[in-house]
Structure formats: C-alpha cells, structure tokens
Structure 1
Amino acid sequence: MSARRGSDNGIVVIGLGRFGSHLAGSLIHLGHEVLGMDRDAERVQRWSSRLDRVAQTDPTEEGALRQLGVADFPRAVVAIGASVEASVLTVLALAELGLPQIWARATSEKHAKILDSVGAHHVIFPEAETGERVAHLIVSKMLDFIEFGDDFAIAKVRVPPPLVGRSLRDLAPADRFGVQVVGAKLPGERFRYAGPDMVLADGSVLIVEGSIAQVQRFAALA
C-alpha cells in the first residue's frame, strides 16, 4: 500500500536505526502511512512487511528522493544518527524539495545549528531528552514525567498518603502545593478529569501540572 499523493497522513522516515524504526512503528500504530528509507539493505528488508513503503536509497540525493515521491509528502523525519554529514545533506535535499515540515534528529548543539541553517523546521534530541526524563524519574517518586519549556511539567504520581480520603476542594492543591490536579485514576476506574468534589482514594494515580520542583515536592509528600 502506498501513501496517497498529497495525503496529510503520510510521513517519510529516513534512517531505520533504533530511533527511526521505533518512530516508524509508533506512527504506523497511530494510523499514519509511512515511507521508510535507509541505505542498509538488511534494515530495509526487516521493515518491508511492516511499513506501507520502504526503500533502500541514498537519502542525500535530491533526485532519488524526488523519484520516490517524497516531494508529495507533507512531513519527513531525518532520524539518521551515525553520520552528521548524511543527516545534514538529507535535510538539505528535503529542503530543496520544499517539504512543509522537516524534523531532524541532532546529536549535539553544533549539529542542531547546522540542521537549522540548512532547512530543518524542528530539531530534536531524543537521547538527551530521554536521559533527562529518566533521571527525574530515578530521583523522585513520580511515575512518569514530561517537561515543557519555562520550567513547566506534567507528571503522573501516586496519591501522597497524607491526602488520602480528602477532596480536591478541601485540599486546594494549587494554593497549598503550587500544582494543579487535572486528572485522576481511582482504583478500578479509568482516568478522568479531576473535579473539586473528587475524593482521593488510596491507590489512586493523579495527573498534576506545575513547576518541576513543585511537582516533585507534591509527589514526595509523606
């Protein structure tokens, strides 16, 4: 099955190594059509039955990308990590094709600046971002954690023992702890939006937002 011409659903993933293959698999799971590319024949063969289209090609060559119909896709992700040169030249080739959105993986700040200068619209640092997230989880009582800019985070935490049996209206977590409880999963139930009359039961899991320090302190209440 090929990606529909001009489809907003189609995404090109270039580089099917560890990061690129996981990304491609996740996009497929989310219902997107994926055109995967890699220079390595073994990787291409491995993914031939799982992706909508997969091609062994040199992604730094604009002509090769054009022949594969990459110019018809709205988004591409350059997931190449082993070669900075190949990563940069691939972004340049995509920019020459005029793709509306080019995402690129960077391995250093210098690499990121070069990618930005040759046409990448979004530069990501998957290893650094994952490392920082895991570090926060290791040293805190948070179950999961997403950090945004300007010292803002959303985290999944267990209900701290001192808060069990009390309602959010009574607790006023925004005033007392500096965090907003936006969702909760009570024992035996699904996650749902948290209201002021919700009573926090033992074993519940909360979704809270606030500064990184405030979220960590809330999770550590004892």
Structure 2
Amino acid sequence: MGLGRFGCHLAGSLTRMGREVLAIDRDPEKVQRWSAQLDRVVQADSTEEGALRQLDVTSFGRVVVAIGASLEASVLTVLALTELGMPQIWARATSQKHARILSSVGAHHVIFPEAETGERVAHLIVSRVLDFVEFDDDFAIASVRVPESLVGRTLLDLRPDDRYGVRVIGAKVPGEPFRYASDSTRLAKGGVLVVEGGIDQVQRFAGLS
C-alpha cells in the first residue's frame, strides 16, 4: 500500500520472486505507471476499511504499508487493516515517534528502510567489507575478501574465532560457488569469506592486509 520509491521497489522485487502482489495507491498516475509491471494495481484509498474489504485484502497473508509521505494516511491505513484482522501488518516508519504510533495501532513489524540502508552503506564506505548485515545486539554478518596475509592457510591453522573474534561460515574460491566453511577450508587468493561476529571484530578482520 503506497507506490512511492520504497513501495514500488518492494512490489517489483516480490513479483520477481514469484509472489502474488496486490498494489494499492490513491494516485491514478502511479497506478497507471505500474499497472504493466505488477500483477494487480488498484486505485483506492487505503485508509478506508470498506475499500480494503471490497478489494479482499484479507485473502493475503501479509500486507506492507509503504506510505511515507503522509503520517496520517500511514497510521489510518494500519488502523483499518487492524480492524479487518490482518494477521501480518508490516509498516514503514519515518521516525521513532511514527514507529511508536504504528505499533500502538496494530502494526506487527515496523521498518526503517532509509535508516537501515544508510547504516549499511556507511559500513561499506568506511571498511573493506563487500556486503554487511547488522543486527540489534552488536552482531553482524559480512562478506569480505580473503586478506593477503591469510592466503594459503586453513581455518584450523588460523583459528579466527580465537585470534580475531569472528567465525568464518562460508568461503568462495574464484569461479566457484559459496560453500560452507570447515576446519579444512583453505583460504584462496582472490576468494571471498562470509564471517559473523561482533561489528568491531568483523570490521577489523575485513581490514587485515
């Protein structure tokens, strides 16, 4: 619900994953623009419980309220979905206050796409990690290049848990797919590792030369 930048990219990604998607927006221009690319695009007021009932939104297991431009429309849409008894309501928040309101009126999951993307990109900019996922409890999973100083060594010999405070859970040799790592995994030049651990430890490991 809401075909702004976040909503349209989310709907497009779900469609490419083979999921059935119903997209709703009150702006006729946005509806027309996306009607050829998404399964079903409908012009409707998502704050109206009656309109949502007519569209049979309860036949879907999950709904995402992607409205960001209007706090009022976002909150009223979540409230209408709650009244309909939707089992899974995901809602986009633009501030902590907005998030608290969304949770109080019935949102099961509140997301901050701009903040989450900003934090992830910041880590990519200031470190050598190739990709980065941060969790709330100071924990991260990242993909990093095999440091030159570690090329040719096995994980049994290296013991990254003890030496660097990270665990290597996957390894990729150039030209081959990722595989789960084991003690016998030998680090290859130009290879990529998937590591997990504390955020600082992961970044320090990625920064090894």
Q: What band does the TM-score fall into relative to the shorter chain? A: over 0.9
Unaligned runs of 5+ in 2: none
1:94 aligns with 2:77: no
* Residues 71-150 of structure 1: pairs in structure 2 closer than 5 A: 71-150=58-137
Compute the displacement of 1:149 (Å): 1.8
The 3-state SS of whatever aligns with 1:20 is: helix
* Deviation for aligned residue 1:51: 1.7
1:61-118 CA distance string (max 9 Å, x none): 0000000011221110000000000000000000000000000000000000000000
* 1:190 and 2:181 aligned: no
Q: Percent identity?
A: 74
The residue aligned with 1:35 is 22
Corresponding residue for residue 41 of structure 2: 54
Distance 1:73 1:193 in 2: 36
Give the secondary-structure state (helix, strand or coil) at the position aligned to 1:33. Answer: coil
The one-letter code matched in structure 2 to 1:157 is V
Runs in 1 of length 4+ with deviation above 3 angstroms?
none
Distance, in Å, in 2 between the alignment partners of 1:107 and 1:149 is 18
User: Partner of 1:4 in structure 2?
Assistant: none
Distance 2:45 2:81 in 1: 12
Among residues 11, 18, 25, which one is paired with 2:5 in the alignment?
18
Write the distance in 2 (CA, Å) between the matches of 1:162 and 1:50: 48
C-alpha RMSD of matched pairs (Å): 0.7
Q: What's the CA shift for 1:23?
A: 0.3
Aligned pairs, how many? 209
Deviations 1:104-154 (A, max 9, x none): 000000000000000000000000000011111101111110001211100
Name the amino acid aligned to 2:114.
E
Deviation at 1:159, TM superposition (A): 0.5
2:52 to 65, 73, 80: 65
Q: Which ranges in structure 1 are unaligned for 5 or more consecutive residues?
A: 1-13
Normalising by structure 1, we get a TM-score of 0.93
> Is 1:154 matched up with 2:141?
yes
| TM-score, with structure 2 as normaliser | 0.98
Superposition deviation, residue 49 in structure 1: 1.7
Cα distance between partner residues in 1 of 2:37 and 2:70: 25
